[in-house]
Amino acid sequence: MRELRKQRGRPRKGGEDYDVVRERLVRAGVAALTEYGFVSTGLDQVVRAAGVPKGSFYTFFSSKEEFGLELIERYGVYFARRLDRFLLDETLSPLGRLRAFMQDSFANVTRFDYQRGCLVGNLGQEMSALPESFRQRLIDVFTDWQGRVEACLLSAQEAGEIASEIDCARKAELFWIGWEGAILRAKLERRVHPLEAYSEDFFKSLKLRHG
């Protein structure tokens, strides 16, 4: 991420638009990182997309590193809420919830013309070039998402939808490993097929053996 020089006239922190502008920066940042990752994204590009004067960035964030850390945090929370919308939907069976999440993701990836992937996956891939402080945050986000999928799989197991010998914690971990790989391939190939193939295989691997 390219640096922006600090400017002198700092906008007042107590100003009524402070939170609104800060939020615009965060949203623009998340969108850019989801598409391009951290290294390719310039701060100037983010402030332009947010419609914020170039010089005021440092009123809101002390550094691009701090900004990046907040974007990871915010994306993690946003995505956890998105997951919950599906995984806690009691009108569906536990496996049906996971399936609904996946299908919504297929639609999303297509809607953004295969440009946007997963912010956490993008940054994970770039880790060698990122501030070391990002590492644990990215791992924490995966751990959080994993816990939500694990809970869903445990419910599925309780409901007799998946084999009882399945280690749900391990399966949830594997789910995210493969999912990130599938997002990568879908973006590369500009088609939803890798995600569909992966999902089908994942569900097959949960099947009752002698059911």
By CB under 8 A, name the binding residues for its own copies: 35-37, 39-40, 115, 117, 121-122, 124-129, 135, 138-139, 142, 170, 173-174, 176-182, 184-185, 187-190, 194, 197-198, 201, 204-205, 209
Q: What's the min distance (Å) between Cβ of 86 and its own copies?
A: 21
Q: Which is nearer to its own copies, 16 or 165 (CB)?
A: 165
Q: What's the min distance (Å) between Cβ of 171 and its own copies?
A: 8
Structure tokens at 83: 């997951």
Q: Which is nearer to its own copies, 47 or 123 (CB)?
A: 123
Q: Which is nearer to its own copies, 21 or 46 (CB)?
A: 46
Give the rounded distance of the alpha carbon of 170 from its chain centre: 20
Q: What's the min distance (Å) between Cβ of 142 and its own copies?
A: 8
Q: Which is nearer to its own copies, 80 or 184 (CB)?
A: 184
User: What is the C-alpha separation between 95 and 113, in angstroms, rounded?
Assistant: 28
Q: Which distant-in-sequence residues (6+ apart) come within 8 Å of 141 by Cβ?
A: 72, 75, 76, 79, 120
Q: What's the min distance (Å) between Cβ of 210 and its own copies?
A: 9
Q: How far is CA 99 from CA 47, 102, 146, in A?
A: 37, 5, 16
CB-based contact 66:53 (threshold 8 Å)? no
Q: Which is nearer to its own copies, 22 or 185 (CB)?
A: 185
Q: What's the min distance (Å) between Cβ of 90 and its own copies?
A: 29
Structure tokens at 55: 């010089």
Q: What's the min distance (Å) between Cβ of 43 and its own copies?
A: 15
User: What is the C-alpha separation between 182 and 199, in angstroms, rounded?
Assistant: 9
CB-based contact 125:39 (threshold 8 Å)? no
Residue 138 backbone class (left: φ over 0; alpha: ψ -120 to 50; beta: rest): alpha
First vs last Cα of the chain: how many Å apart? 53
